[in-house]
Amino acid sequence: MSAKAIVLVHGGGQGAGFASAWDRLSSPLLGRPLISYVADAAARLRPASILLALADPDAASAAALSRPAGRVRVSVLRCRSRRGRATPGMVSALVDASPIIRKNRSRDILAVPADRPLVQSKTLKGLLASHRRKGCSLTILSCGPDLERDSIAVFRAEDVAPLLPALARAGGKAGLAFLAAMLRARGRRVGLTEIPDAGEALRVAGRADLARAAGLLRARKNEALARRGVTLLDPQSTWIDWEAKVGAGTVIYPLVVIEGASVIGKGCRISPHVHIMRSWAGARVKVLSSTVIEDSRVEDDAQVGPFSRLRPGTVIKASSKVGNFVEMKNTVFGPRSKAQHLSYLGDSLVEEDVNIGAGTITCNYDGVRKNRTYIGSGAFIGSGTELVAPLKVGKQAYVAAGSTITRDVGPASLAIGRARQVEKPGWVIERLKKLQKRTRPPK
């Protein structure tokens, strides 16, 4: 018998609160689809292939699930309908996979329900080892009272393949107990064991189960981060998605959310109420309170926040500072540059050592297209400035506070784009006299 198995990940029914079986299995769980947890646990066994037996996934989702997991080939088997509904249970999935099983008679078939996100690879590996050690044709790992629905099983393909036509003819009557009885009638050995960790048996049958599974997976994720040197000051209020990575020495404060495949480097400090989505942060980065970072990159020793927002496509270069109520979008902000207060930089390229004064705005949208603003190294942008793109401010140039700049500024130049101040002494007194005459009642 080959050392490698084929893993058959089979779907279940629609479930409570879900529009379809596929809606249930593709539901987001700690930042990734529910079904991906079982698929990944199976992939760590290094099987010959993984077969996803699913009830009518949409084409885009099926294509995404078919991508190789490491070196393991993954394919999607669309389950047939029986009695007017898709039946991707364990035995019916075996019947649907008949051609594959017949081609792989020398292998074992490990069948795992797709709605068990807490099952770990070590559990599957132990089941497979026990099955082979005892020489069974079928070994059942019981996860609950319902043998058909609440079990993981491994089959010897050469013993099950001859029974597939009979299972197909039996239709709805063919369950796991039916298959076990058929094997025993042929003198084959059937093993039964309990799952070693009851927590792994959780089945996501309804939307309430998603929250329970997320809580257990979140605890597992937080414990793994702690073992790697990450300090979570309040794990109960911290939400870190499964695929997120955090470096040793980083301190994460309460009420932090880190989503997607975000990466946080070593020695960072993530303050309360920070929300990071699919972003990358280097080493020793400080993200201060109430900051939102989305699809952006923050390089080593930079500081962002508090109350900053980095929108998609933003790159904060090393040792720069982005402060209170500053918003950036699709902007590269250069090394050691500063934008500390109340500014918006959109579609911009800011070089190193630039100072952005409070209230600076890049006017990047002309009603038809987005335009770029370029600010050269060492430039100084005074407070309350409007930079009307497309625009280039040269190196070491100064822009006077309160200016509206519509033309390029040369290097080392001073640009002033504001109206000349006019003062009229006594204007307020004269105005009040006029108002009093207008409002005086008639005699």
Whether 260 contacts 278, CB under 8 Å: yes
Distances (CA, A) of 141 to 37, 83, 109, 154, 317: 18, 28, 14, 8, 52
Task: Give the residue from 320, 331, 396 showing the smallest Cα distance to 361.
Answer: 331
- Asked whether the beta carbons of 71 and 46 are under 8 A apart, the reply is yes
Let me know the angle formed at the C-alpha of 434 by 432 and 440, rounded to the nearest 5 degrees. 100
Cα–Cα distances in Å, from 406 out to 222, 373, 389, 391? Answer: 51, 11, 7, 7
Token digits of residue 141: 């790992």
CA 177 to CA 145: how far, in whole Å? Answer: 13
Determine the Cα–Cα distance for residues 328 and 315; give it in Å rounded to an integer: 9
Other beta carbons less than 10 A from residue 177's beta carbon: 13
Distances in Å between the Cα of 264 and the Cα atoms of 166, 271, 278 are 55, 13, 10
CA 104 vs CA 39, 138, 168, 418: distances in Å: 20, 16, 19, 79
Q: What angle do CA 125, 129, 1 make, to 5 degrees?
A: 115
Tokens 């793109």: give the residue. 389
Give exposure, 264-282, as e/b (b: 16+ Cβ within 10 Å): bbbbbbbbbbbbbbbbbbb
Residue of 10, 273, 275, 341 marked active site: 341
| Catalytic residue status for 10 | no
**Are 112 and 10 contacting, i.e. CB atoms less than 8 angstroms apart?**
yes
Tell me how far apart the alpha carbons of residues 126 and 135 are, in angstroms, rounded to a whole number.
Answer: 14
Q: Name the one residue in this structure whose structure tokens are 């299972």.
A: 167
Q: Which residues are marked as active site?
A: 341
